[in-house]
């Protein structure tokens, strides 16, 4: 297959992000300052953050270029939409239409 993937990151089962600075297969608390995985409340305020080591558990990838046949099990299935239609009263409020207008389309 001629698919090109881009590795965008990874996390463990509980959702903790991976960090290249930690060379462990488990979670550690790092002192982070302005890097990924941590946003300080004040400027130059470091804080401890639980991150997963860089040994792979789950990888997040994005497809840059899809090949001719695709990857079975990854590009073949189309997931249904999770969110259903909004109630008509909400659509009428957003578009400021009257009660007689048809908003079902």
Tokens describing residue 72: 């079975």
Average pLDDT over residues 39-49: 74
d(CA 1, CA 32): 40
The confidence band for 105, taking pLDDT boundaries of 50, 70 and 90, is low
DSSP structural state of residue 75: T
pLDDT at 7: 77
Taking only the tens place, the pLDDT of each residue in 60-96 is: 787 788 777 767 776 667 777 777 667 777 777 777 7
Higher pLDDT, 52 or 84: 52
Taking only the tens place, the pLDDT of each residue in 3-15 is: 788 877 777 777 7
């Amino acid at each position: 297959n001629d698919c090109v993937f881009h590795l965008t990151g990874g996390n463990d089962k509980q959702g903790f992000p991976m960090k290249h600075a930690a060379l462990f297969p488990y979670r550690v608390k790092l002192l982070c300052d302005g890097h990924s995985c941590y946003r300080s409340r004040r400027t130059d305020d470091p804080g401890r953050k639980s991150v997963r080591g860089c040994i792979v558990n789950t990888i997040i990838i994005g497809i840059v270029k899809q090949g001719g046949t695709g990857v079975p099990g990854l590009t073949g299935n189309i997931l249904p939409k999770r969110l259903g239609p909004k109630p008509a009263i909400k659509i009428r409020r957003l578009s400021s239409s009257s009660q007689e207008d048809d908003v079902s389309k």
